[in-house]
Amino acid sequence: MLSFIFASILIELTPGPNMTWLAVLGATRGRAAALSAVGGVCLGLAFAGLVAGLGLTVLFDNFPSLITALRWAGTLYLFYLAYDAWSEASTIEKIETKSNRAYFTQGLISNVLNPKAYLFYAAILPQFLSITEQPQQEIALLTTVYVAIATLIHAAIALAAGSISNWLQHSPQAVLVQRAMAIAIALAAIWFFISTGNLK
């Protein structure tokens, strides 16, 4: 279990689209919005774990086009989030222009469409399973541990980034900074697309 916890921490500390988007969201829309998004990310990761637990990831082996479809959908959705952040730059002072439920939904969708999440459970998680007649229970336990670790790390990022939200809202360079952050999300989308190119 300790080795799995350590591996999960390393994976979640690796910079990626979730980390970038949550940092941008916290900095520009505040802690409440970012933490709502963390909840969606958490549910999305749990959904991927449920899919793996039910054995549905075998579909990825038989139909590799599903991975390709998820890869494209996830990338395009990240570009949408970048566009959304860019568009909101001119309304940065209107912190309540979008409900926290919307940010929760965005976090959920971005992870449901993340092929890496499914392949983590399908390829990496089984390496930490013991020989047992009830693997579903062990998969459920490890999934819970992983989601908990991911949620703690994401929440820390959201809170840390949210600490500069008030300053950013009153900064004369607020629009410029948020548009730079929107570009960062777009770059994360490109990185996501490239890094998932060899997934099988």
pLDDT in tens, 6-31: 888 988 888 788 888 898 888 888 89
The three-state DSSP-derived secondary structure of 128-178 is HCCCCCCHHHHHHHHHHHHHHHHHHHHHHHHHHHHCCHHHHHCCCCHHHHH
Are 125 and 139 spatial neighbours (Cβ–Cβ below 8 Å)?
A: yes
Query: What predicted TM-score, i.e. pTM, was given to this entire model?
Result: 0.78
pLDDT in tens, 26-68: 888 889 999 999 999 999 999 988 887 777 666 776 777 877 8
Assess whether pLDDT exceeds 60 at residue 174: yes
Q: What are the boundaries of each domain within the chain?
A: 2-195
Q: Give burial (CB, 10 Å; 0-12/13-18/19+) of 136.
A: exposed
pLDDT in tens, 75-101: 898 888 888 878 876 654 444 457 888
